[in-house]
Amino acid sequence: MDLRTALLSRASPGKLTEPAPDDAQLELMLEAAVCAPDHGRLAPWRFVVLRGAAREHLATAMENDLLARHAAATAEERAAERNKALRSPLLVVVAAALHEHPKVPLPEQVMATAAAVQNFWLQAHALGFGLMWKTGAAASSARVKAALALAPTDVIVGILHLGTVAVAGTPRPPSVAPVTRRL
Ligand SMILES: Cc1cc2nc3c(=O)[nH]c(=O)nc-3n(C[C@H](O)[C@H](O)[C@H](O)COP(=O)(O)O)c2cc1C
């Protein structure tokens, strides 16, 4: 797939299923991710891969986090929260490990990590896989970070769901007119 086709046809799928990218395909995505623009080449990104049963770590942390926020959560709500981590065959949590730097402000370290996510996504798409970029309450949960062996100061930039597209998304038609001004 050429770059322009990849850029214009990318969309979030409605549902993902098996098979997920295998480890060799995942490696290609990670290689693309770490070529993202990165002020100071600090490589602030961290990738936590949760395949199959390993997703239970995140499911349990998300359920516990829900209970901490809503002690009265019902069994259905707890199951729904767990299912957020179990509904796609492969998850990759991408975090920015932030460190004070004399020339690279912390937000730029987050931006570089977001750029890495986009490279990762486009490579996944070009290989024929679907990806959903999620965050939600889990992304800022200390419990979730601890369960993934991330530092409390790390910023979770995305909980990426990967797999084969079962329900396709809708690419947006390219239109720059409303957001472009020429001075
Ligand atoms: C940083 C970031 C966080 C996001 N978090 C969520 C999320 O938690 N839940 C969700 O449904 N969409 C989330 N999205 C949006 C989707 O990933 C998706 O990109 C958006 O709905 C637009 O659809 P498209 O990808 O098909 O163009 C997030 C996007 C970004 C960039």
- Alpha carbons 15 and 89: distance in angstroms, whole number: 11
CA distances from 68 to 6, 78, 141 (A): 41, 11, 10
The whole-number pLDDT of residue 182 equals 82
Phi and psi at 58, nearest 5°, equal -70, -40
Atom of ligand 1 nearest to the CA of 157: 1
Q: Is residue 79 part of a domain?
A: no
pLDDT score at 4: 94
Residue 163: what residue type? G
For residue 170, the ligand 1 atom closest to its alpha carbon is 26
* Residue 64 domain flag: no
Task: Identify the residue whose tokens are 């957020």.
Answer: 84
Write out the chain's pLDDT in tens, 183 residues. Answer: 999 999 999 999 999 999 999 999 999 999 999 999 999 999 999 999 999 999 999 999 999 999 999 999 999 999 999 999 999 999 999 999 999 999 999 999 999 999 999 999 999 999 999 999 999 999 999 999 999 999 999 999 999 999 999 999 999 888 877 777 888
Structural domain containing residue 98: 3-52+87-168
CA-nearest residue, atom 17 of ligand 1: 133
Which tokens belong to 176? 């720059």
Check: CB of residue 83 under 8 Å from CB of residue 91.
no
Nearest CA to ligand 1 atom 15: 133
pLDDT at 12: 98
Residue list, ligand 1 pocket, CB within 6 Å: 11-12, 132-136, 158, 169, 172
Pocket test for ligand 1, best of 133, 157, 162 (most atoms within 8 A of CB): 133
In a domain, 113, yes or no: yes
In a domain, 76, yes or no: no
Is the residue at 32 inside a domain?
yes
Q: Structure pTM?
A: 0.96
- Three-state helix/strand/coil letters over the chain: CCHHHHHHHCCCCCEEECCCCCHHHHHHHHHHHCCCCCHHHCCCEEEEEEEHHHHHHHHHHHHHHHHHHCCCCCHHHHHHHHHHCCCCCEEEEEEECCCCCCCCCHHHHHHHHHHHHHHHHHHHHHCCCEEEEECCHHHHCHHHHHHCCCCCCCEEEEEEEEEEEEECCCCCCCCCHHHCCCC
What pLDDT was estimated at residue 183?
A: 85
Q: How many domains does the chain have?
A: 1
Q: Whose CA is nearest to atom 16 of ligand 1?
A: 133
Check: CB of residue 108 under 8 Å from CB of residue 38: no
Q: Report which ligand 1 atom has the smallest distance to the Cα of 11.
A: 26
CA of 150 to the centre of ligand 1 (A): 22
Does a structural domain hold residue 35?
yes
Q: How far, CA to CA in Å, does 80 sit from each of 20, 84, 115, 121, 157?
A: 22, 7, 30, 26, 22
Ligand 1 centroid from CA 87, angstroms: 16
- Nearest-CA residue for ligand 1 atom 10 is 134
pLDDT of residue 180: 79
In a domain, 80, yes or no: no
Ligand 1 center to 134 CA (angstroms): 6
Residue 150 lies in a domain: yes
Could you tell me the CATH number of the domain that includes residue 117? Answer: 3.40.109.10
**pLDDT for the residue numbered 179:** 78
Lookup: tokens for 138: 């889990």
